[in-house]
Amino acid sequence: MKVCLDLRCIRPGMTGVGVSALHMARALLQYGRRHEFIGIFLAGCAPEDLKESGMKIIETNADYQRHPAGEFWLNLTLPRILKKESVDICHGAAFLIPWRKTSFKKIVSIHDMIAFRFPHTYSKTFGNYIKCATRLSARFSNRIIVPSENTKTDLVKICQIPPDKVDVVPHFADPFFQPIPHTERESHRALLNLPPKYILNVGALEPRKNQTVLIKAFEMMRSETNLTHHLLLVGGKGYRGDEILDAISRSPHAASIRHFTRVDILHLYTICALADLFVFPSHYEGFGLPALEAMACGTPVIAAKAASLPEIVADAGVLVPPHSPRQLADEMINALSNQEKLVSLSEKGLARAKAFTPERTAAALLAIYEKACIR
């Protein structure tokens, strides 16, 4: 097969969608070597390792975030390019495929249904665009790929999609995410000037990620116990992110809360692997990659009992309602005060993370491509 991947979501400062698309491309190149892959990238954004792995690179200045220029390119220019390349499959890695009949099969990855389920977490203009794009891509695709059963359920219900058109292909954590040997932990800690004990949260600062509840729970923990852990928040400022920054500045424990903007993967791996506890109280995730990355590092996880997170974390972590700072604080205190519990959660998380691998992801994707070509 000759497969084109629209990977324009891979760019500096990319969030989970771009990261998972990069993982997908690497897995396909590693385990799908008898097939030919073309990658569409924004100019200057194609990773060198993909080029070296044999992917043909096509660069464009057509950013899908520019409207309506992005839509014209998607529906007029891209089909001409792919027809000339004689591709069998076009896989849009981030919500978008040409919204028209084409000579090639079209597969789209729809990562979440946030715009439908939590519309207040986007600007009205952007939210309406994503909803429209999701419906059109779902309609014109031959197959749809989602990362979790929860996202599939939402997509089928909201967009009235036949369930048998939708395939669940989970993400996986980058192999960088693994435990740091005990003999090396302190040198890594000193390198990044990390506190001796800390709780970690990774994700853009925005209401959907629910960091305000985490900050309140952290304040309760510090006020009611002798625990001296810091709270580290890693992520850029998202929509309405000032609300979270204000909560940090107003906190009586502000001196113990640190905010890192986006960091490179090696630093993120270190920060994740050295955390005493990873807390992820997000209201809605299409998958929840940061929780999986934490488990892959052997870091104990507390996550929200909401959307896809119970599906991904399962019994390898502690699940709490996302609306209750009190319950979250109690679970944080319970975990950090009980070394046996932390060890148990670490071991369960490591075992759970092994269920999500690049080989399985690539095999599932290639099977979907082959199925689409047959029909």
pLDDT at 106: 98
In a domain? residue 126: yes
Query: What is the average pLDDT across 166-182?
Result: 96
Number of C-beta neighbours around residue 238 at 10 A: 17
Which of 122-126, 287-291, 330-334, 362-366 has the weakest average pLDDT?
122-126
- 198 with 156, same domain? no
pLDDT digit string (tens) for 299-340?
999 999 999 999 999 999 999 999 999 999 999 999 999 999
pLDDT at 264: 85
Task: Say yes or no: 145 and 7 in one domain.
Answer: yes
| Residue 122 banded pLDDT, cuts 50, 70, 90 | confident
Q: Considering the domain boundaries, does residue 177 fall inside one?
A: no
Each residue of 182-219: pLDDT tens digit?
Answer: 999 999 999 999 999 999 999 999 999 999 999 999 99
Same domain? For 21 and 46 the reply is: yes
For residue 262, what pLDDT is reported? 75
Residues 296 and 186 in one domain: yes
Evaluate the CA torsion angle 83, 84, 89, 90 in order and state its sign. Answer: negative
Give the pLDDT score at 369: 97
Alpha-carbon distance 5 to 70, whole Å? 16
Token pair 């979501």 is found at 9
Domain assignment present for 197: yes
- Any idea what the CATH number is for the domain that residue 124 is in? 3.40.50.2000
Token pair of 89 as six digits: 């499959």
Structure tokens at 374: 């047959």
Whether the pLDDT of residue 375 is over 80: the answer is: no
Q: Are residues 273 and 139 in the same domain?
A: no
Q: How many domains does the chain have?
A: 2
Q: Is there a single domain that holds both residue 195 and residue 116?
A: no
Backbone phi, psi, residue 195, to 5°: -65, 160
pLDDT exceeds cutoff 80 at 240 = yes
Let me know: does 272 contact 178? Beta carbons within 8 Å: no
- Both 213 and 147 in one domain: the answer is no
Percentage with pLDDT > 90 across the chain: 93
CA distance 333 to 327: 10
Q: What is the pLDDT of residue 65?
A: 86
Per residue in 131-158, pLDDT tens? 999 999 999 999 999 999 999 999 999 9
Host domain of residue 298: 182-353
**Rounded to the nearest 10 degrees, how much is the dihedral formed by the CA atoms of 121, 122, 128, 133?**
-100
pLDDT at residue 266 in the model:
85
What is residue 217's predicted lDDT score, i.e. its pLDDT? 99
| Same domain for 234 and 168 | no
pLDDT digits (tens, 9 = 90+) for 256-305: 999 999 788 889 999 999 999 999 999 999 999 999 999 999 999 999 99
pLDDT at 76: 96
Percent of the chain with pLDDT over 70: 100
3-state class (DSSP) for residue 45: coil
Residues 369 and 346 in one domain: no
CB 364 within 8 A of CB 24: no
- Report how far Cα 274 is from the mean position of its chain's Cα atoms: 20
In a domain, 163, yes or no: yes
* pLDDT at residue 263, rounded to an integer: 86
Same domain, 202 and 156: no
Same domain, 116 and 225: no
Residues 32 and 128 in one domain: yes
In a domain, 79, yes or no: yes
What's the rounded mean pLDDT across residues 239-255?
96
- CA distances in angstroms from 313 to 163, 263, 355, 375, listed in the order given: 24, 24, 11, 35
Residue 189 domain-assigned (yes or no): yes
